[in-house]
Amino acid sequence: MPEENKQNDNNSSRNISPTEWIIGILGMLIFLFSFGYILYNAVTVNKTPPKIKISIDSVVAMENNYVTKITVQNYGASTAEGLVIQGEITSGGIALETSRTTFDYVPEKSKRKGGMIFTKDPRKYTLSIRALGYEEP
């Protein structure tokens, strides 16, 4: 009986082919490279504040309002959470109307779209848009 058990053990183990070795080594190298890259970025990359750029895409007339569609781009290396954008319509240096919108989450190196609503047509006046502030996640 002991010889049968020994023979079954030998049959259950098999030789690993060179292809399996190569695939296993490649998988381990990919894992180690990925882990090293993440660790390197965590230690060496400086997290600069969000770099926000706002552009006006279009103005759409609605029933009683004008929607100014905007794109917010974050070129920075950190996320802006709760980003508040303010638009102001002026004429001759006098503020006629102000509108604000908040972007909940603008990750690093990304863009988001939104809109601001005015009662006056922004195309007939001077429209200035700027970021007021954000939170760090």
Lowest mean pLDDT among 13-17, 71-75, 103-107: 13-17
Would the pLDDT of 12 be above 60? no
Kindly report the CATH number that applies to the domain delimited by 52-135: 2.60.40.10
Two structure tokens written together for 81? 């959470």
Range in 7-16, 65-74, 95-104, 118-127 the model is least confident about: 7-16
pLDDT > 80? residue 6: no
What does the pLDDT read at residue 27? 94
- What digits encode the pLDDT tens for the residues 18-60? 899 999 999 999 999 999 998 887 777 667 889 999 999 999 9
Choose the weakest-confidence range: 47-51, 64-68, 88-92.
Answer: 47-51
**CA distances (Å), origin 61, targets 88, 89, 92, 104, 121:** 17, 16, 23, 25, 8
Find the mean pLDDT for residues 111-127. Answer: 96
pTM over 0.85: no
Domain boundaries, the chain: 2-44, 52-135
Task: Dump pLDDT digits (tens) for 80-89.
Answer: 999 999 999 9
| pLDDT score for 14 | 77
